[in-house]
Chain A
Amino acid sequence: MVDNSNTPEDVTREGERIYFDKLKDILEPAHNGEYVAIEVESGEYFVNKDLLTAIQEARIKYPNKLLHIVPIGELNKPSISHQKVNYAWHLR
């Protein structure tokens, strides 16, 4: 059974944050055209040219966690509905 402590919205928001803050510079352009499956609580990620294989490798280690998947090299900005909002009290 899937651990539902994170909603799909939580997983998307955190997955996009991890991808843009940490993984984009590591994976692009060397892995462009491949897929990364991110387990958002640990931050661990699994890269494969085949989407299903990337998911299956992640599910072996995290069978009950929702994953966030990004096609490497194709994503230039977060999805609009999950963009991080910077309020004045977040600015340093």
Chain B
Amino acid sequence: MHGTFVNKSPHIEFNIWGINKSVAQKYIGLIDTGFNGYLVIPYALAFPLGLALIGTESSTLADGSTVTSLVCIGQVELCGITVPTTVSVQSGNSILIGTQLLERIGKDLHIDFIDGKVEFKERPKPTPPTPPKTNSENPPKK
């Protein structure tokens, strides 16, 4: 199991760092399927990570207001897989994991709301198409 439920919401544990892995921190973030970005981290948790600042981002909140956040680049290790990620650094205290980061992991995410399990599983390999059978013994009747 890679994650857990906190207040009936699926959360998952990950390691994150910026330029140097020696300062990596382990955080638990909310899996937010309504957020199509990568990762949101509050200021206080972002400073120790040594993230590389690359710019700013304007985005619209649910109430229609526009906010600006700092955008950084870092590395995330999730489910044993390390991928590059953008990190939106905002006020507040939420850690949000977005769908683009989950897509980068390249595995299927299974959320079991009944048993409270959050797991990544290998994607089933696509089965090659079966060649059409030739019926040489019974040729079609003319």
Contacts between chains A and B (CB distance < 8 A), count:
79
Taking CB atoms, residues of chain A closer than 8 Å to B57 are: 68-71
Q: Report how far A79 CA is from B126 CA in the complex, Å.
A: 46
Closest Cβ of chain A to B70, distance in Å, is 6
Taking CB atoms, residues of chain B closer than 8 Å to A71 are: 37, 57, 59-60
Closest Cβ of chain A to B62, distance in Å, is 11
Which residues of B line the A interface, CB within 8 A?
36-38, 53-60, 64-68, 70-71, 73, 84-86, 100, 104
Which residues of A line the B interface, CB within 8 A?
2, 8, 11-12, 15-16, 19, 33, 37, 50-52, 55, 59, 66-71, 74-82
Determine whether the beta carbon of B66 is less than 8 Å from that of A79: yes
Main secondary structure of the interface of A (DSSP, over half): mixed
Q: Report how far A69 CA is from B70 CA in the complex, Å.
A: 10
Taking CB atoms, residues of chain A closer than 8 Å to B65 are: 80
Contact of B58 among A33, A37, A68 (CB under 8 A): A68
Determine whether the beta carbon of B58 is less than 8 Å from that of A66: no
Contact of B85 among A12, A52, A69 (CB under 8 A): A52
Q: Report how far A52 CA is from B87 CA in the complex, Å.
A: 10
Q: Report how far A66 CA is from B53 CA in the complex, Å.
A: 8
